[in-house]
C-alpha cells in the first residue's frame, strides 16, 4: 500500500477529488495548510504597504491506496491539480505498512 500526500492549490481541490473518485478511491483527508516551496511566498499591498506573505495558503490531501493503484492516482492528482503556474504544489509518496478500519478491525487493503 502507498500513502500519497499532495499539497495543491486550494481551488484545485474539487477537480482532484473528482479525479481520484473516478479511479474508485473512496477515502480522502483534506487539511488547509500554509507553506512555501521554491516560490517563497508572494507580496500583498495594503494602502501602499507591501507585505511579503511567506506562507501561502494551500490544501493538503492525503490518500491511502493499493500499490497497484498508486501510479494512476499520482498521475490523476498531477493532471487535475496542474495549472502550469508557479505554486502548483507537490506530491509525496510513502510506503504504507498497515491500515486498520476502526469499526470492524479489518486490516490491509480491505481497510482502505
- Does 44 engage in binding with other proteins (CB under 8 A)? yes
Footprint on residues 47-86 left by other proteins (CB under 8 A):
47-49, 51-54
Determine if 32 is a binding residue for other proteins (CB under 8 A).
no
**CB nearer other proteins, residue 47 or residue 103:** 47
- Count Cβ atoms below 10 Å from residue 20 Cβ, excluding itself: 24
95 counts as binding other proteins under rule CB under 8 A: no
Q: What is the DSSP letter of 87?
A: T
Instruction: Determine the angle formed by the axes of helices 67-81 and 13-22, rounding to 10 degrees.
Output: 150
- Of 46, 84, 95, 98, the one binding other proteins (CB under 8 A) is 46
**In sequence order, what are the residues at sequence separation of 6 or more whose Cβ sits closer than 8 angstroms to the Cβ of residue 8?**
16, 58, 59, 60, 61, 77, 81, 88, 89
How far, rounded to the nearest angstrom, does the alpha carbon of residue 106 sit from its chain's CA centroid?
Answer: 25
CB of 41 to other proteins, least distance (A): 9
CB of 50 to other proteins, least distance (A): 9
| 39 binds other proteins per the rule CB under 8 A | no
Amino acid at each position: 500500500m502507498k500513502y500519497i500526500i499532495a499539497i495543491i492549490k486550494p481551488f484545485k481541490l474539487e477537480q482532484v477529488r473528482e479525479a481520484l473518485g473516478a479511479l474508485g478511491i473512496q477515502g480522502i483527508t483534506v487539511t488547509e495548510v500554509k507553506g512555501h516551496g521554491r516560490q517563497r511566498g508572494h507580496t500583498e499591498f495594503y494602502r501602499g504597504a507591501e507585505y511579503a506573505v511567506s506562507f501561502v495558503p494551500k490544501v493538503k490531501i492525503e490518500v491511502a491506496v493499493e500499490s497497484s493503484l498508486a501510479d494512476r492516482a499520482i498521475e490523476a492528482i498531477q493532471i487535475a491539480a496542474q495549472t502550469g503556474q508557479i505554486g502548483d504544489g507537490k506530491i509525496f509518496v510513502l510506503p504504507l505498512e498497515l491500515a486498520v478500519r476502526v469499526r470492524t478491525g479489518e486490516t490491509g487493503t480491505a481497510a482502505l
